[in-house]
Structure 1
Amino acid sequence: MIKGLGIAAVWTLDQERTMAFFTQKLGFEVRNDITFGGVRRLTVGAKGQPEVELALLGPGHDSVDAESARALRTLISGGVLGAAGFRTDDCFGDYETFRERGVRFLQEPRERPWGIEAIFRDEDGNWYALTERLSGDLDPARGWGDVVGESC
């Protein structure tokens, strides 16, 4: 029986740069950084959540054939891959902290039916939601607000 998510992939063109983004700007920790068979296995995770890791994978990963690697490079370079939603208990505070650390936000914190949400990108263009969830059920009266844009 599945117990929950353990590892999720984040595609990157530069593992070092992406590791620095997660550790220096978001405050994550490196969980694994080993190389075998010519492939670097690099994972990061949120402090205090040891059961979930993000695997920072390059398009040259051993599970990717040459044609798929070319396609991945194009998708990564174009910033069209969405990666994850991160939970927070203070969306406004984390938004300010991360902006001060150089994180590029597409959307400042806004009310949504599920809570307060901000949207940001990493240096490869992968996008992430930063969400402070409502307690209880969704609240459609809160509305959707503006469409995400490049305004922040």
Structure 2
Amino acid sequence: MKRFLGLVTLVVRDYDEAIDFFVGKLDFRLVEDTPVPEQSKRWVVVSPPGAGETMMLLARASAPEQSVHIGNQTGGRVAFFLYTDDFDRDYTTFRARGVKFIRPAASHAYGRVAVFLDLYGNAWDLLEPSGRDACSAHRHRYATPRGDAPETP
């Protein structure tokens, strides 16, 4: 039996601004944008280019208890890990489009990495792993004591 995470939810303030960021700045693909009139919502799904099974549901906060978590869904830790096959291309493109990096590009034994913020303040790793096992890259990274507080460039 094959299992995988098909959708991960990101709580957002507004559907259209979230689509603009993920599609316009990060080159994600808009997979679906379907109104759900009975709930006054939309089913908005985006996916990184070439990701296949990996998708993100952009879910507009619909209650105050959801709104307080926008931009801080993981308590300040890196929330998402965007793997790339060309770090320099994506790092340069994202910076040119105004994506805010809070930890500059660095090379490590496990790969090249930088930390950026999405439009709400959630922290993301941009990572080009060295070698074929991307999960091993992150196990190595987080086994190294270094703290989780964002650093300013």
TM bucket normalised to smaller: 0.7 to 0.9
Query: Higher mean Cα deviation, 71-80 or 39-48?
Result: 71-80
The amino acid across from 2:60 in the alignment is G
Which residue is equivalent to 1:99?
A: 95
Give the alignment's TM-score, normalised by structure 1: 0.79
RMSD of the TM alignment (CA)? 2.6
1:5 Cα offset (Å): 1.6
Q: How far does the alpha carbon of each residue in 1:111-133 deviate from its partner, in whole angstroms, 9 at most, with x for none?
A: 34522111111111111111111
% identity of equivalent residues: 27
Distance 2:52 2:146 in 1: 34
Q: How far does the alpha carbon of each residue in 1:85-137 deviate from its partner, in whole angstroms, 9 at most, with x for none?
A: 01112223311110001101111111345221111111111111111112166
Distance 1:101 1:144 in 2: 32
The amino acid across from 1:28 in the alignment is F
Q: How does 1:48-127 map to 2 (within 5 A)?
A: 48-60=50-62, 69-76=63-70, 80=75, 82-127=78-123
* Contact persistence 1:18–1:122 (CA under 8 A): no
The amino acid across from 2:150 in the alignment is G
The amino acid across from 1:73 in the alignment is S
Query: Higher mean Cα deviation, 28-37 or 130-139?
Result: 130-139
Query: Higher mean Cα deviation, 86-95 or 97-106?
Result: 86-95
Which residue is equivalent to 2:12?
A: 12
* Contact persistence 1:106–1:148 (CA under 8 A): no
Q: How far does the alpha carbon of each residue in 1:43-98 deviate from its partner, in whole angstroms, 9 at most, with x for none?
A: 111222232211001111xxxxxxxx323212215574643101112223311110
Alignment CA distance shift 1:111-1:43 (3 Å): same
Show structure 1 runs of 5+ residues with no match: 61-68
Q: How does 1:125-144 map to 2 (within 5 A)?
A: 125-135=121-131
